[in-house]
Amino acid sequence: MKAPRIVVLAGSSRRDALSRRLAAACVAPLQAAGAEVDLLELSDYPAPLYNGDLEAESGLPEAIMQLQQILYACDGLLVVNPEYNGSITPLLKNTLDWCSRPNPADRERSGGAVYAGRAAAVVGSSPGGLGGMRALFHVRDILGYLGMQVIPQQLAVGNAGSAIGDDGMLRDESQRKVLDKLATALADTARRLRC
């Protein structure tokens, strides 16, 4: 059976974003669970704030069309999101919204088709104690609305500034175990749905 391809992305593009460090820490557990992993940087796929008039005048941004192709080819998505005022980051929401739009030149591999029937998991990060927990519910709702099968396992990493060791892995053993279980569940769900 073919290995599921999982896209991992952080909801922040800040250079020292805790969510980016945590996204990188998710790669090895997913690979150990038998997945092929693409770790993406949303800053590599810039897009203006979504506006229907802009879309009608100019079409989809080139970077968004590239990202749609990557998402269409994947079997699952793992989103690591920081919490902005108790919710999802504007960058992640804007990216998800743009990618949900159909490309008239490639309707089959754009719009809702990049999400539908794929597995998804959410991880949160925060410098505070809750680990972005409040944002996870919002991200789960959005991904589910887009047609993704969001697995029940999730992880909220509080005090994220000190949560990752020099080896790039979570320091806390209990968090590592939760992440391992999440990675296994995501890979297994992606495999069942798509492979």
Consecutive sets of 10 residues in the chain, 195 residues long: mean pLDDT of each? 94 92 97 98 97 96 98 98 93 98 96 97 92 93 98 95 93 97 98 92
Q: For position 192, what pLDDT does the model report?
A: 97
Alpha helix (H) residue ranges in 6-111: 18-25, 27-32, 52-58, 62-73, 90-99
**Rounded to 5°, angle at Cα 90 from 88 and 95:** 100
Domain total in the chain:
1
For residue 155, the enclosing domain spans 5-194
Q: For position 130, what pLDDT does the model report?
A: 85
Q: For position 195, what pLDDT does the model report?
A: 78
Helix (H, G, I), strand (E, B) or coil at 67: helix
Q: What is the domain-level CATH number for residue 66?
A: 3.40.50.360
Predicted TM-score (pTM) of this structure: 0.96
Cβ atoms of residues 88 and 138 within 8 Å:
yes
Q: For position 128, what pLDDT does the model report?
A: 86
